[in-house]
Structures are given as C-alpha cells and as structure tokens.
Copies of this chain bind each other. A is one copy, B any other.
Amino acid sequence: MSVSALFDPDGIAVIGASKTPGKLGNDAMSNVEACDTEIYPVNPSSSGTVFGYEFVDSVHETDADLALCCVPGHLQPDVLEECGEAGVSAAVIFAGGFAEAGNDGRELQDAIEKIANEYEITVLGPNTAGYAIPHLDLYGSFVPRIREVQTGNIGVVTQSAGVGITMSFQLTREGYGISAMFGLGNRMNTGFADIIPMLDTDSRTDSIVIHVEGTEDVDELFDVCQAADTPIVAFKVGEHDIADFAQAHTAAPAQENAIYEDGFNEPGLVTVSSMTELIDAGRALADSPTPDGPNVGIVTAQAGPGIIITDFLKGTEATFPELTSETQERLNNLLPGITYTENPVDTGRPMPEFGKVVDAVARDGNVDIVLVYEIYEDSLGYPVDELEILSTEVGKPILFTVAGPDHALEDERRQMENAGIPTFNAPERGAQAVAALIDSISEN
C-alpha cells in the first residue's frame, strides 16, 4: 500500500459526481476538473457531461487510480469494493459517520478498513474535507474556492481538515501558500506516519507543519518526525480536557497530553500553541538557515516595539549576547550618541544608516539570529540591498518585522522574502518566529 497515488494520480474518478451546484459531488468536480490527468465523473443516475467530462455508470469503466468518494457513508463499503475490483489504489472518503460517531460508525469503519486493506487501497479519511496540492492543480476536496489556495513551500498535515483549510486560506491571504495540505480525518489506514515521509522527500516542501488532536499511531508519528530532514512544527491541541469533543470529531483516542509534550520535546522538533504561530514558525523554518545557537541580536528603528519583542523573547530560550567591540565601534561610528547601542540596538527612528546598522549586528560573531523591527517610511524604504547581501553572505537567520500602511510596504516586503528574509507583520509574530528557530535546535 502506498500513498503515491494521492500525490501523483493517474486518472481520478469522482464517485457520486453531480451536475447540481452546491452538491458535494459537484463541488468536488469543480475543484478537480483542471488537474492534468483524466477525470471520470461516476454516477449511474446521471448522463451527459459535467465540467466537460462525460458521466460513466461505474468506476469499472474508468482507468482511475484515485477515487474521490462523494457518497454517503452507508454506501461506502460497496463503493470501496468496486474501487478495489477496478484497480483503484487510493481513495478519499469525505463522508462522516464512522469511528467518530459511536459504535455503529466504528463497525462501518471496520468494514471499509477490511475492504481497503484487502485491495491495498490507501484511504484518506474517512471524515475529511480532503487534500490539496496547488502546484499540480490537484484539489481532492469538496471545499468551495479551495483552488484559490496558492503554491508555497509549507507542507500542512492536519488531523482536522477544517484546520488545514483554514491555515491554507490564511497562508494565501497573507501572501504565501502551501506545497500540499492533507486533512487526515479519522486516519483509518493513512495517518501522519504515511504523509509526513512523503512530504519530507518532496523538493517543494521546506517545512512541515502538523496539527494533532490525538492519534493511535503516536509512536510512529514521533519516529517519522525524528527521522525527517525537513523541519517540523507541531501544534498539539488538548492542553485542557477536550477529549469528548475530539473523540466525536476525528475519533481521537483519550490520551494524556504529556505523551505528546514529551514526544515533541526533542531537538529538531518545534511546538507551538496556536494556528497563527504554526504558520509563522513554519515560514521561519522553511525560509531560514538553521541557527548555530540561541544568541539573538535585535535591531529596531522604534524602541517601543523592540522592547515588546525583547520582553517576549526573554521568556524563551533566547539569549542576548553582548556585541563584539568591533561591532560596538562600527555602531558608534554610524550612530554617534544614538539612543541605545547595546543589544537590542535602537536607532530611535528610521534613518539612512539603518541598513548598515543591521549589517553590523548580522556580521557580529556573537549573534546567531537577527530580528529587525522597522515602521516603514517611503523616503527611506526598507534596507533591501543590504539584506540581500547579508542573506547570501552571513548564513544566519535574519527575520524582519514590518509595520506601517500595508500598500506602502508590500513591494519591499516581498523583495526581502524573495531574498530569504522572512517578514512578519506584528511584533509578537516576529518574536514567536525567532523562538521557533531556537526551539528547533534546543535540547529540551
């Protein structure tokens, strides 16, 4: 059994395809119709075409190796049996009413699991809104407008597809995107341990962010996370008692949260406690070199936000080294008598020398990670030239926290990002991203 048909399907059957807008089988067709493989709408009650593809009566009439199953749960055993006979190797089952829904649902899930395993069908779900691989135009989901999700370099694996979809839209809204998003749902025979290794070998995926409610294959989860070369950030929900709700959602088993706290508390793994932090940590890890240590150099053009950032980071593993005497001298030459030349370095306001100040701190041997804060001013702009050079020459993470009117700073913000300088648009978001980088190298 292999998950490869999910990543590179050779023909897709949409079982329960429909011409009626608003129906699951229509939404799924509208999402998948542009994918560069043969598409087969399957529905014995329909004829003619939908999105230009001719209806067929049965999956037996197709050459599909991926099936998107848009039928209700009780029909799923028959559908899956047919899929197996027809040589389908992967299926997405959207319907709920399985293990998350009590004993009858558990029995139904056991029945389809048996069929799936007999025919070696990789099943995403059941009880999932599906998955998305934007660069392939492959949206195996019924979620409207999911095709607006953009291509990026973050792989998203969520126990709840709703969380994955929310994150994919948020990443797109903020100007980024995803390499892939998988909503696992009930994880019947395809879980974290199956998807993460595939993303780990995907050249488009520079970090993997995962959302976990609770899963049976917890040891395998930790194993694949440890084995991955790609940085991994985990958001484990359930600091408090949400067991009933999570069981009813994705059949999450009742477990102690401490299992996860221990498992994710390993070098190379990063944990966060909100969806936005998951996004920001994923972006920082995807776009930054690995830091050599926890020594942060802060450069700010406005003291107040710089103090907020410093205060936040002092609550983490971050340390604030003294700058070398050479750096201090450079800074004193650049900014004679300026506000604050310790670390943090505060220039008081934006100024033409700001890029050189960032350069001085970034080249300081005591500094492992640089975090910059500056409110944008048109007449000065952001020090893009200096940052482009630094990004290629110093080999350290340099993160930039932007502020100001959005339309004024958008262009230069994207220039910085293209140069490998991740940007963040609130002080706490820049600080949390730095904390994630430090967490990624921290021993405990």
- Where the two chains meet, the residues of A that have a C-beta atom closer than 8 Å to any C-beta of B are 21-22, 96, 100-101, 129, 143-145, 148, 158-163, 165-166, 169-170, 172-173, 211, 213, 237-242, 244-246, 248-250, 274-276, 302-308, 310-312, 314-315, 339-340, 342, 344, 346, 348-349, 375, 377-379, 403-406, 408, 425-429
Contact B275 A240 (CB under 8 A): no
Contact B170 A340 (CB under 8 A): no
Q: For residue A313, give the distance in angstroms from its CB to the closest CB of chain B.
A: 9
Q: For residue A66, give the distance in angstroms from its CB to the closest CB of chain B.
A: 22
How far apart are the CA atoms of A245 and B166 in the complex, in Å? 38
Known: A145-B408, A315-B239. A303 touches B160 (CB 8 A): yes
How far apart are the CA atoms of A166 and B22 in the complex, in Å? 42
Chain B residue numbers with a CB within 8 Å of A375 are: 143, 162, 165-166, 169
Chain B residue numbers with a CB within 8 Å of A173 are: 405-406
How far apart are the CA atoms of A243 and B349 in the complex, in Å? 20
Q: For residue A298, give the distance in angstroms from its CB to the closest CB of chain B.
A: 10
Known: A169-B405, A304-B163. A248 touches B145 (CB 8 A): no
Contact sample, A vs B, 20 pairs, CB 8 Å cutoff: A144-B378, A145-B405, A160-B302, A160-B303, A161-B304, A162-B303, A162-B305, A163-B305, A166-B375, A166-B403, A166-B427, A240-B315, A242-B311, A245-B303, A245-B307, A245-B344, A249-B339, A250-B304, A274-B428, A275-B305
How far apart are the CA atoms of A408 and B340 in the complex, in Å? 46
Q: For residue A185, give the distance in angstroms from its CB to the closest CB of chain B.
A: 10
Known: A339-B96, A378-B144. A346 touches B248 (CB 8 A): yes
How far apart are the CA atoms of A96 and B428 in the complex, in Å? 26
CB closest residue in chain B, given A350:
B144
Given contacts A101-B339, A242-B314, 14 further A-B contacts (CB under 8 A): A143-B375, A160-B303, A160-B304, A162-B302, A162-B304, A166-B403, A166-B427, A170-B426, A213-B304, A245-B346, A249-B304, A249-B340, A250-B304, A275-B305
Chain B residue numbers with a CB within 8 Å of A403 are: 165-166, 169-170
CB closest residue in chain B, given A348:
B96
How far apart are the CA atoms of A346 and B245 in the complex, in Å? 9
CB closest residue in chain B, given A244:
B342
Q: For residue A299, give the distance in angstroms from its CB to the closest CB of chain B.
A: 13
Contact of A238 among B242, B274, B311 (CB under 8 A): B311
4 closest Cβ contacts across the A-B interface? A160-B304, A162-B302, A240-B314, A249-B303
Contact B406 A166 (CB under 8 A): no
How far apart are the CA atoms of A170 and B403 in the complex, in Å? 8
Contact A307 B160 (CB under 8 A): yes
Number of chain copies forming the complex:
2
Q: For residue A330, give the distance in angstroms from its CB to the closest CB of chain B.
A: 20
Chain B residue numbers with a CB within 8 Å of A158 are: 304
How far apart are the CA atoms of A244 and B322 in the complex, in Å? 14
CB closest residue in chain B, given A100:
B339
Chain B residue numbers with a CB within 8 Å of A274 are: 308, 312, 426-428
Q: For residue A335, give the distance in angstroms from its CB to the closest CB of chain B.
A: 13
How far apart are the CA atoms of A377 and B31 in the complex, in Å? 14
Contact A307 B249 (CB under 8 A): yes
CB closest residue in chain B, given A306:
B245
Contact A340 B405 (CB under 8 A): no
How far apart are the CA atoms of A251 and B151 in the complex, in Å? 47
Among A169, A307, A311, A404: residue with most chain B CB under 10 A: A307
Contact B172 A405 (CB under 8 A): yes
Contact A307 B246 (CB under 8 A): yes
Contact B311 A240 (CB under 8 A): yes
Contact B378 A145 (CB under 8 A): yes
Q: For residue A30, give the distance in angstroms from its CB to the closest CB of chain B.
A: 11
Contact A428 B377 (CB under 8 A): no
Chain B residue numbers with a CB within 8 Å of A159 are: 304
Contact A239 B161 (CB under 8 A): no
Chain B residue numbers with a CB within 8 Å of A426 are: 170, 274-276
How far apart are the CA atoms of A170 and B348 in the complex, in Å? 20
CB closest residue in chain B, given A378:
B144
Contact B240 A404 (CB under 8 A): no
Known: A169-B405, A275-B428, A428-B274. A305 touches B160 (CB 8 A): yes
